[in-house]
Amino acid sequence: MSVVHDFTTDVLTWNPYVEPVDLDAATQSQRAAMGVTAATRSVSVYTRVLAHDAQTLQSRTPLFNAIMYGKEGLSRGDRELGAIGASIYNGCVYCTSVHARFYQQFGAVPDIIETIFAAGTEAKLPEREQAIFDFSVKLSHTPPSATPDDVRRLKSVGLSEAEIVDLVRAAALFGWANRLMHTLGEPQRG
Amino acid sequence: MLNQTVEARLEASCGLAADHPVMALWRRNDIINRAEAGSELAVLDPAEPGAFPAPTRAALAARMARECGSDALAGEYGSLASQGTADDENIAHGSPLDWIVDTGLRAAARHCDLLTLNPTGATRSDIEALREAGFSDADIVALSELIAFVNYHVRCIEGLRLIAEAGK
């Protein structure tokens, strides 16, 4: 097993720095937060790490699913691009690998992932994707550096205010996810 | 302790009234509304607070909101920390780390600063430092969720404010 430092679409494993909750030793609330039922055979290591804080995991899972996979509003591919902008800026190799694969599956523009991996936050993209990517990167800065002009640019490439709301949440959500995945463990290959 | 709702705190922090049209777009999904409120409660005032009592959590949240440039949200969280200790007060006001007397709290505040300002730079040694400061794995995960949630929330507030500003 070797630690992965470069952005990739390879399927990686995640090795935690803290001990995951043992399914057999989990409390009732931890089992509920992990979604464990009688039929459950295994739960991901990441979810078992987050189960240490069952109350937060219990709300975080439906929030994550609604923001990323909700049926209405911004397209799935555009949400994934928002997630990727945040993850690239925050340097989360694991989150980037997962959501880059999702973009390749759901996104509209070919070769975009290769371009982003080659140039990072400076990537030159088609106009619409550039507006989405740049806004997501700037919202990820601390403090956030996105401006009203960045929002007007999103409108000019065709996003409605409702879709921009969805993009804000998708990019912000990875300000959350990256700060767990990149800091509580590391991605490995092999 | 959460004497006002997540909704009121959000409105106060982004400067938009509850009936602003952008706020209606923001609140159009009830699953998200409930899960955001549930997440904030879980990180700020959980049923099992572990090593971090509610005023300390609010103080750390205020510190991070300030680092993210959201003085309004920092003020909201800071008012929740007012029942805390002198250390809580220093944490909330963004004082230098060496002003924090309790070594555990100093380590926790250091981790908040690192993950808020430079998450890319976090490594295994930062988790080990928290363990050496006396925190359990459960405390470390709870602290990480608090940090991660506040960083999510400030970006939601800033995004909302920008959308409203761009629509003027």
Neighbouring CB atoms inside 10 A of B54's CB total 17
Residue B110: its pLDDT value, please? 98
Query: Considering only CB atoms, which chain B residues are within 8 Å of A165?
Result: 22, 25-26, 159-160, 163
What distance in Å separates residue B99's CA from the closest CA in chain A?
23
The strands making up A185-189's β-sheet, listed across from edge to edge, are A2-3, A185-189, A13-16
Residue A108: its pLDDT value, please? 85
Beta-bridge mates of residue A13: A188
Handedness of CA B73, B75, B78, B83 (dihedral sign): negative
pLDDT digits (tens, 9 = 90+) for B37-61: 999 999 999 999 999 999 999 999 9
Query: Considering only CB atoms, which chain B residues are within 8 Å of A48?
Result: none
Tell whether the model's pLDDT for residue B136 goes beyond 60. Answer: yes
What gap in Å lies between CA B63 and CA A112, rounded to an integer?
A: 37
Q: What is the mean pLDDT of chain B?
A: 95
Domains of chain A, by residue range, sit at 2-68, 72-185
Mean pLDDT by 10 residues, chain A (190 residues): 93 98 95 91 95 98 97 96 98 98 93 97 98 98 98 98 98 98 94
Query: Stretch B136-159: mean pLDDT, rounded?
Result: 98
How would residue B103 be classed by pLDDT, with cut points 50, 70 and 90?
very high
pLDDT digits (tens, 9 = 90+) for B66-86: 999 999 999 999 999 988 899
What distance in Å separates residue B163's CA from the closest CA in chain A?
6
What distance in Å separates residue A150's CA from the closest CA in chain B?
9
8 Å CB contact between B157 and B10: yes
How would residue B91 be classed by pLDDT, with cut points 50, 70 and 90?
very high
Q: Which residues contact B142 (CB under 8 A, 6 or more apart)?
A: A52, A53, A56, B43, B46, B50, B51, B52
Tell whether the model's pLDDT for residue B1 goes beyond 80. Answer: no
- Looking at chain B, the whole-number percentage of residues with pLDDT higher than 90 is 89
Best residue of B31, B70, B113, B155 to probe chain A, by most A CBs closer than 10 Å? B155
Alpha-helix residue ranges (DSSP H) falling in A51-111:
54-69, 76-90, 93-106
Residue B9: its pLDDT value, please? 86
pLDDT digits (tens, 9 = 90+) for A95-133: 999 999 999 999 889 899 999 999 999 999 999 999 999
Per-residue DSSP letter, A3 = E
Nearest CA in chain B to A55: B42
How would residue B4 be classed by pLDDT, with cut points 50, 70 and 90?
low
CATH number of A72-185: 1.20.1290.10
Query: Stretch B6-27: mean pLDDT, rounded?
Result: 90
What are the structural domains of chain B?
A: 6-166 (1.20.1290.10)
* Token reading at B23: 């706020």
Phi/psi-derived region of residue A55, left when phi > 0, alpha when psi is between -120 and 50, beta in every other case: alpha
Residue B52: its pLDDT value, please? 98
Smallest Cβ–Cβ distance between A179 and the set B42, B70, B119 belongs to: B119
How would residue B2 be classed by pLDDT, with cut points 50, 70 and 90?
low
Residue A4 near chain B (CB below 8 Å) = no
